[in-house]
């Protein structure tokens, strides 16, 4: 099933875009606008300020780029000259997202001559960025470095006409509120501001009040709307080594095309990345403390499918748009419940389906419930035969055989109320909870996983030593040779 819409009869033609822009959209294979594009493009073309909430993967980047590039292209036709400052400024919370947006803009500008795009992000040398800024019409920037350049008079913002604040909620999380206001002041002459956010929480509304003028609110999807193409699997884990066994299972799953493994900390990210690399997996790792040049190189290696696995912290939770990510594996739960939605949104992109695996230890139960409150639904526990959890405080029937006939081809799943009862109080039969959660004691059916499970037994013996293991214990530690087309494809993750 696709997350993208069934083609609308009008397609993009209704927007009467410049021929070169329309041709680029066609070349990208965008036959019809997604819901967010349908609503945003006409209003943005009309010059309105907008406050948009839309889910990750909804096509929101093109929703703001297409109308703003259209306006830029149509105005440039009459006055061709090199600008002394950008007319479009897109603000992104992270360097990775900024790069992704700039890449999308470049794709949309293929065939449009003379429009320049520059990226301004921290952690990279100034020289190249300053060079790219010369004559740039569209600048995609993270707030800190942009302000730095503005304050040292390396960039002018007095010609900015359109400002986009992308992922405003994330901006606030990262403490960019003041920087955003300073940038808004520096570009006070702008005619239009578009703000995108996952939610319309009060703090977002306060920011919108400061940055926008009478914005039109467009709410496309809420965080609590499940993406039907993602099979979400929750694996209860007893302890660290159980998590590693669960991870090991997926590492040897040949249905994984590409996968992101979210580590809980930078240290865990680094240790796991190193460990898997040492074991010959096609892996790289990414976290915020690495130099930007390294982050970019590694991300590109992953984007270009030169590596199969990316171990990352939440720095990769947003903006990573790689259609071949078939699996997202959460080694633990994110600090902020919303980030669960962003993380799993890395898979099932561009009309594909995906699997999101989350390992939950007892100490994570509170976080799991917070996530369930955000997404307004329960997440099913799934068990990989042979890797069932043993310790189950507050778990009603985990470890018992599923009520369904045993199947080795699929992870088994326990009723949703499983986590609700201490062992001493647990009722004999799983029942739906009174507040209306369905008792979905069903078997989770990740599409790709089925075939993998049929093929492989739980990979206890596959030899992945895990990142907690001692050095030197890895002689037989590689996943089964020849199991995946990535096997043996060794990449220097520090490249």
Chain residues that interact with ligand AMP, rule: CB under 6 A? 4, 30, 33-34, 37, 57-62, 321, 349-350
End-to-end distance of the chain based on CA atoms, in angstroms?
36
CB of residue 102 to ligand AMP, shortest distance in Å: 13
Nearest residue (CB) to ligand AMP, 207 versus 325: 325
List all residues 6 or more positions away from 40 whose beta carbon is below 8 Å from its beta carbon.
50, 52, 60, 63, 64, 67, 194, 218
CB of residue 228 to ligand AMP, shortest distance in Å: 16
DSSP, collapsed to helix, strand or coil, labels residue 432 as coil
Nearest residue (CB) to ligand AMP, 30 versus 309: 30
CB of residue 101 to ligand AMP, shortest distance in Å: 8
CB of residue 183 to ligand AMP, shortest distance in Å: 22
Tallying the residues shown for the chain, one arrives at 495
The torsion angles phi and psi of 312, rounded to 5 degrees, stand at: -150, 160
CB of residue 239 to ligand AMP, shortest distance in Å: 36
Nearest residue (CB) to ligand AMP, 59 versus 337: 59
CB of residue 62 to ligand AMP, shortest distance in Å: 4
Nearest residue (CB) to ligand AMP, 66 versus 329: 66
State the pairing for strand pair 381-383/412-414: antiparallel
Nearest residue (CB) to ligand AMP, 31 versus 400: 31
Nearest residue (CB) to ligand AMP, 35 versus 415: 35
Nearest residue (CB) to ligand AMP, 227 versus 245: 227
- The conformational region for residue 50 under phi > 0 = left, psi -120 to 50 = alpha, else beta, is beta
Q: Are 420 and 392 in contact (CB under 8 A)?
A: no
CB of residue 55 to ligand AMP, shortest distance in Å: 8
Q: What is the rounded CA–CA span in Å between residue 186 and residue 31? A: 38
Nearest residue (CB) to ligand AMP, 321 versus 339: 321
CB of residue 458 to ligand AMP, shortest distance in Å: 34
DSSP, collapsed to helix, strand or coil, labels residue 109 as coil
Q: What angle do CA 297, 300, 306 make, to 5 degrees?
A: 105
Nearest residue (CB) to ligand AMP, 59 versus 446: 59
Nearest residue (CB) to ligand AMP, 34 versus 277: 34
Q: What is the dihedral of CA 450, 454, 460, 461, to 10 degrees?
A: -140
Q: What is the rounded CA–CA span in Å between residue 223 and residue 174? A: 19
What is each CA distance from 221 to 36, 65, 245, 375, in whole angstroms? 9, 20, 36, 12
Nearest residue (CB) to ligand AMP, 60 versus 190: 60
Q: What is the rounded CA–CA span in Å between residue 110 and residue 101? A: 14
Nearest residue (CB) to ligand AMP, 33 versus 458: 33
> Residue 135 has which token pair?
């004559």
What is each CA distance from 147 to 77, 130, 139, 178, in whole angstroms? 30, 13, 13, 11
DSSP, collapsed to helix, strand or coil, labels residue 454 as helix
Q: Which of 340, 82, 36 is nearest to 197 (CA)?
A: 36
CB of residue 224 to ligand AMP, shortest distance in Å: 18
Please count the other Cβ atoms lying within 10 Å of the Cβ belonging to residue 110. Answer: 12
Q: What is the rounded CA–CA span in Å between residue 325 and residue 55? A: 18
Q: Are 302 and 284 in contact (CB under 8 A)?
A: yes
Please count the other Cβ atoms lying within 10 Å of the Cβ belonging to residue 13. Answer: 11
CB of residue 57 to ligand AMP, shortest distance in Å: 5
> Residue 368 has which token pair?
């799991």
CB of residue 453 to ligand AMP, shortest distance in Å: 29
CB of residue 63 to ligand AMP, shortest distance in Å: 7
């Amino acid at each position: 099933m696709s997350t993208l819409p069934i083609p609308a009869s009008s397609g993009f033609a209704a927007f009467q875009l410049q021929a070169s822009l329309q041709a680029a959209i066609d070349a990208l294979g965008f036959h019809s606008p997604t819901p967010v594009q349908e609503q945003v493009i006409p209003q943005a073309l009309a010059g309105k300020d907008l406050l948009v909430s839309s889910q990750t993967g909804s096509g929101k980047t093109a929703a703001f780029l297409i109308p703003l590039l259209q306006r830029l292209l149509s105005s440039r036709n009459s006055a061709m000259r090199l600008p002394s400052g950008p007319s479009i400024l897109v603000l992104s919370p992270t360097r990775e997202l900024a790069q992704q947006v700039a890449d999308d803009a470049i794709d949309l500008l293929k065939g449009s001559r003379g429009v320049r795009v520059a990226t301004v992000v921290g952690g990279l040398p100034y020289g190249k960025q300053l060079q790219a800024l010369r004559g740039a019409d569209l600048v995609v920037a993270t707030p800190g470095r942009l302000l730095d350049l503005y304050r040292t008079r390396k960039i002018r913002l007095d010609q900015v006409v359109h400002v986009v604040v992308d992922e405003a909620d994330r901006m606030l999380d990262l403490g960019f509120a003041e920087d955003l206001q300073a940038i808004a002041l520096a570009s006070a002459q702008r005619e239009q501001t578009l703000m995108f956010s996952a939610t319309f929480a009060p703090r977002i509304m306060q920011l919108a009040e400061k940055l926008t003028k009478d914005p039109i609110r467009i709410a496309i999807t809420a965080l609590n709307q499940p993406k039907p193409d993602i099979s979400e699997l929750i694996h209860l884990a007893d302890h660290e080594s159980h998590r590693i066994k669960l991870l090991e299972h997926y590492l040897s799953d040949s249905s994984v095309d590409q996968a992101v493994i979210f580590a809980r900390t930078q240290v865990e990210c680094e240790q796991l990345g190193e460990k898997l690399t040492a074991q010959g997996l096609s892996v790289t790792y990414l976290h915020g403390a690495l130099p930007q040049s390294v982050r970019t190189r590694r991300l590109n290696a992953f984007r270009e499918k030169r590596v199969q696995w990316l171990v990352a912290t939440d720095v990769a939770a947003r903006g990573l748009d790689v259609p071949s990510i078939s699996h997202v594996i959460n080694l633990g739960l994110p600090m902020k419940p919303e980030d669960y939605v962003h993380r799993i949104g890395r898979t099932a992109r561009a009309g594909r389906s995906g699997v999101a695996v989350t390992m939950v230890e007892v100490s994570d139960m509170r976080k799991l419930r917070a996530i369930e409150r955000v997404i307004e639904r329960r997440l099913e526990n799934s068990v990989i035969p042979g890797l069932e959890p043993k310790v189950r405080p507050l778990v009603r029937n985990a470890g018992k055989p599923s009520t369904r006939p045993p199947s080795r081809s699929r992870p088994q799943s326990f009723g949703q109320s499983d986590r609700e009862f201490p062992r001493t109080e647990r009722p004999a039969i799983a029942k739906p909870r009174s507040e209306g959660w369905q008792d979905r004691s069903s078997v989770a059916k990740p599409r790709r996983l089925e075939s993998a499970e049929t093929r492989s037994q739980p990979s206890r013996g596959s030899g992945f030593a895990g990142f907690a293991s001692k050095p030197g214990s890895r002689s037989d530690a590689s996943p089964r040779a020849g199991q995946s087309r990535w096997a043996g494809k060794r990449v220097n993750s520090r490249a």
